[in-house]
Amino acid sequence: MMMYMYWSLPIVMMVMGLIVFVSNRKHLLSMLLSLEFIVLSLFLFLFIYLVSMNYEMFFSMMFLTFSVCEGALGLSILVSMIRTHGNDYFQSFSVLQC
């Protein structure tokens, strides 16, 4: 019974993150925060899986490295968008602009 609780927490976290990601489309910062929450739930799911199967944790460290790089890339896009457009609204810019 306790094992189901360990597996259900990351699944609930991922579903909540996906609901926030799909429902909130106004600000880029809130979208990036929901993506980071989804990555955190994936890391928790991976960690629980690796611990339950008695595997090594090297892949989890590689996953954390890539997630930090993804977060830094998202923040750099956010900063460049705020510098060029003045805010982080999705409606204020067009993707097709040169």
CATH number assigned to the domain comprising residue 35? 1.10.287.3510
User: What is each CA distance from 2 to 6, 7, 9, 76, in whole angstroms?
Assistant: 7, 9, 11, 41
Instruction: Please report which confidence band the pLDDT of residue 63 belongs to, taking 50, 70 and 90 as the band edges.
Output: very high
Domain-located, residue 98: no
Q: Residue 35 pLDDT more than 80?
A: yes
Q: What is the mean pLDDT of residues 40-57?
A: 89
Residue 96 lies in a domain: no
Domain hosting 29: range is 2-85
Residues forming beta bridges with residue 27, ordered by sequence position: 89
pTM score over 0.85: no
- Structurally, how many domains does the chain consist of? 1
Per-residue pLDDT at 34 exceeds 80: yes
Query: Treating both helix axes as pointing N-terminal to C-terminal, what angle do 28-52 and 2-23 enclose, rounded to 10 degrees?
Result: 160
pLDDT of 28: 82
Is 94 contained in some domain? no
The vertex-31 CA angle with 30 and 36, nearest 5°, equals: 95
Q: Are 51 and 10 in contact (CB under 8 A)?
A: no
- Determine, yes or no, domain membership for 97: no
Average pLDDT over residues 72-93: 81
